[in-house]
Structure 1
Amino acid sequence: MRAWRYADGTTAKTLAGKLLEDSIVLDTAAPAPDRQSLAKDQFLVQVISAALNPADYKLPESDWFGRMFGLGKDSQPGMDFSGRVVARHPSLSPSASPFEEGQLVFGSLAKASRYGALGEFVVASTAELAALPATGITLDQAAALGTSAGTAWTAVASLGAAAKPDTHVFVHGGSGGVGSYAVQFAKLLGAASVTASASTANTAAVRALGADHVVDYKTTPDVAGELALQKRTFDLAVDCAGAPADFYERSASLLRPDGTYVQVAAAPTAGGIGRVVANMVKAAIARRRFGFAADKGNAEVYARFAGWVAEGKLAPVIGHTVAFEDVPAAYKTLREGRARGKIVVRVSEPPAGRS
């Protein structure tokens, strides 16, 4: 099969000090999984679309932190995907299987895999897969859910002062992969108001997602200071940008006494993790709520997201759709912060009648 793999002499364990996009090659004859390699709860899925995430490069580039998340020498990049079930475990009868061969599905790999989403086939468990609705959602949109939507849902719905009708929510970085979902989830949950930060080029798009107020951080770099001048306070602040490094200190005064600050973006380095820990300590001393959001990989929640997309209640933001051959350039775009929403990679052609 075709798959993006680490170049000879480079593995996920030895990538520290190198950039992912400079360390992967397109292997046109990569080993492919087959039915015999499946565990009883696993399925072989032909990947049609895959979506990129900052974690794809942050984890292997951090070396020690990546290994904590299961990255090994044979790991391949890519977590989020949509595709078609092509095989189940030989012992699993059709009547006992939650998915049929040929069925369209989507999901996210919960840990590093020898067969990452940037290959023509992945091996995924029932806990990592959800069925694609028959109408109302494309394969690209489904691939763009996964990690980013799951992380945003954790931040907005599960930690501390979850968004609800009487809450005021702030999303720092409202146009990115996680931020664009966080804005929408806050509105879906009925938040009284949603304020977000975005660049000049993306302010209109973030308003279209449902943000009531948008601060342009290009023209107003001191976002926290501007919000203070506007006398805005929040029950929930979700930091999807992770910058500037002292943003928590600058914005803590914007939180109401029982408010919650949720950190999403952080570099998986000693310095990055150190800042998160320092913020947690500062929050504890000040008796404020602080949480760190990550996707919990719940297939039931993914299915709910897809249903909302099909019903027109949720809109995955896809800023770029790229060819399979252009993955390194796409990672560079993602790293440089030039992507609005998600970057989706077309791995193979969708079946007739589906896009």
Structure 2
Amino acid sequence: MKAQVIRSHGTIDQITYEENWPTPEPEDGHVVIRVKACSLNYHDLFTLKGMPGIKVPMPIIMGIDMAGIVAAVGPNCGAWKEGDRVMVDPLLRERYSLLGETLDGGLAEFCKVPADQLISLPENVGFEQAAALPVAYGTAYRMMVTRGGMRLDGSAAGEKVFILGASGGVGTCCVQLAKLSGAEVIVAASSQEKLESLKALGADHGINYRDEDFMKALHGIAGKPRIWGEGGVDTIVNFTGGDTWVPSIKSLRKGGSLLTCGATAGFDPKTDMRYIWTFELNIIGSNGWLREDLHSLLELVQQGQLNPPVDMRFALADAPKAFQALEDRQAFGKLIIVP
């Protein structure tokens, strides 16, 4: 089979296109799927470059998120059969690791997957939509709905939600979920083009953080928070950390919530704790997703309430170009590899 393989950590030029890589065989409790779509995540870049504390066996095929068709079935795989359309939950919970990180992933024509990681894919959900969901959308859903308590029934009318990093996979899901809640949605992105795309997705206000101080811009939209309760944003989604952390805290209304699932710009920002107790703020962390979060996302896609935007598609042979676009933050939403 054809596959993109790495044999050591390093830069994008470490990714090697193999045209005669061994096709995996089904075994006990495992199926082989014909990969129809694989979406990239920043975690794939972390796997490529190496992460402290995570041992990646080499050589390995990256690609965490995938969807496809069952091509072969091993013993003890339950009711799964050849031809079934499936989405893969890539989180191997018993070892708390990921497909495409400690086991071969979806940057190949075929992938061997534990049968208990499969989720049946409805006919009205496309392979690209499904491949976009687990890591980015599962993380966003758990952060905002499961952990953050956001209700997707329009009941948040009158509230304001601000989303940093809104143009990526996690961010575009957060925008759509916040809009379903009924809130007024404010987003930050690095270009006017991305802001226009976010407004088309449902955002009400856009802040170009390269051109203006987002905290001052937020105060202009929502008012400066006051101890007696006026002003400020109800909910802020911040998975960047770094220099954005303190301005986010200073932009929340009294009793507001800051939701976080990562720290792409730095994990040890300075924090003035006086704001947290004085304004009775809620700091809510979220880590990954559970299987039920993915089922909930599939239902939203089926109902037409959620649609992951796919900005770029690449052939398997061009996967390094996709990694470069990901690293350069060129894409809006998700990048998809089509083997």
Same fold (TM over 0.5): yes
Paired with 2:50 and 2:281, the residues of 1 have a C-alpha distance of 30
Counterpart amino acid of 1:105?
V
2:216 partner letter: G
Of 101, 104, 110, which aligns to 2:82? 101
Distance 2:17 2:323 in 1: 14
1:121 aligns with 2:110: yes
**Does 2:121 match 1:132?**
yes
Relative to structure 1, the CA distance from residue 294 to residue 247 in structure 2 (aligned partners, 3 Å threshold; closer, same or farther) is same
**How far does residue 26 in structure 1 lie from its aligned partner after superposition?**
1.0
Shift in Å, 1:342: 0.3
Is the CA contact 2:238–2:260 (under 8 Å) kept in the aligned structure 1? yes
| Structure 1 range deviating more: 332-341 or 120-129 | 120-129
Relative to structure 1, the CA distance from residue 82 to residue 207 in structure 2 (aligned partners, 3 Å threshold; closer, same or farther) is same
Distance in structure 1 (CA, Å) of the matches to 2:277 and 2:68: 48
1:297-336 to structure 2, matched below 5 A, reads 297-298=290-291, 300-336=292-328
> 1:52: which partner in 2?
40
Query: Structure 1: where are the runs of 5+ without partners?
Result: 348-355
Q: Indicate how the Cα distance of structure 1 residues 106 and 126 shifts in structure 2: closer, same or farther if over 3 A, else same.
A: same
**In the alignment, residue 204 of structure 1 is paired with which amino acid?**
E
Whether the 8 Å CA contact 1:160–1:289 is kept in 2: the answer is no
* Deviation of the 1:122 alpha carbon: 1.8
Is 2:136 the counterpart of 1:148? yes
| Structure 1 residues 159 and 306: CA distance shift in structure 2, 3 A | closer
CA deviation vs aligned residue, 1:151-203 (integer Å, no higher than 9, x gap): 11022112345356234311112221110001111222x24322111220022
2:216 equivalent among 202, 211, 225: 225
CA distance, structure 2, for counterparts of residue 322 and residue 282 of structure 1: 48
SS at the partner of 2:266?
Answer: helix
CA pair 305-203 structure 1, distance change in 2 beyond 3 A = same
What percentage of aligned pairs have identical amino acids? 26
CA shift digits 1:3-42 (9 cap, x unpaired): 11114xx2xxxx2xx32x1211011222332123x4x2x3
Structure 1 residues 227 and 143: CA distance shift in structure 2, 3 A? same
Structure 2, unaligned stretches of length 5 or more?
92-97, 224-230
For the 8 Å contact 1:161–1:235, the answer to whether it is kept is: no
1:232-311 equivalence runs, <5 A: 233-240=232-239, 242=240, 245-267=242-264, 272-275=266-269, 288-298=281-291, 300-311=292-303
Matched, 1:24 2:15: yes
Once residues 282 and 123 of structure 1 are traced to their aligned partners in structure 2, the CA distance between those partners, rounded to angstroms, is 51
Of stretches 79-88 and 104-113 in structure 1, the one that deviates more from structure 2 is 104-113
Residues 89 and 119, structure 2, Cα contact 8 Å, conserved in 1: no
Counterparts of 2:109 and 2:290 in 1: how far apart (Å)?
A: 21
Aligned-partner SS, 2:72 = strand
Counterpart code for 2:83: G
8 A Cα contact 2:140 2:173, kept in partner:
yes
Paired position in structure 1 for 2:165: 173
TM-score (norm. length: structure 2): 0.84
CA contact under 8 A between 1:161 and 1:236: conserved in structure 2? no
Cα displacement string for residues 221-249 of structure 1 (whole angstroms, at most 9, x for unaligned residues): x1122111331622221124x27x31111
- Aligned in 2, Cα 1:292/1:325: closer, same or farther, shift over 3 Å? farther
**Alignment pair present for 1:85 and 2:70:** yes
Cα offset, 1:265, TM superposition: 4.3
Q: Is the 8 A contact 1:45 1:124 kept in 2?
A: yes
CA contact (8 A) 2:3 2:316 kept: no
* SS of residue matched to 1:64: coil
Amino acid at match of 1:114: L
1:59 and 1:65 in contact (8 A); partners too? no
Of residues 43, 54, 68, the one that matches 1:66 is 54
Q: Distance in 2 between matches of 1:262 and 1:176?
A: 16
Q: How far does the alpha carbon of each residue in 1:49-107 deviate from its partner, in whole angstroms, 9 at most, with x for none?
A: 1000001112442432433xxx3334321100110012222244xxx41x332011112
Residue 257 of structure 2 contacts residue 281 of structure 2 at CA under 8 Å; is this kept in 1? yes
**Structure 2 counterpart of 1:83, one-letter code:** G
Alignment partners' CA distance in 1, 2:111 and 2:185? 38
Separation of aligned partners in 2, 1:162 and 1:314: 15
- The verdict on how the C-alpha distance between 1:119 and 1:279 changes in structure 2, with shifts beyond 3 A counting, is farther
Instruction: Give the residue type in structure 2 aligned to 1:233.
Output: G
Q: Distance in 2 between matches of 1:319 and 1:228?
A: 32
After TM superposition, give the deviation of residue 126 of structure 1 in Å: 4.4
Number of aligned residue pairs: 317
Alpha-carbon distance, 1:336 to partner? 1.0
Q: 1:294 to 1:336 in 2, by over 3 A?
A: farther
**Structure 1 residue 127, shift from structure 2 partner:** 4.5
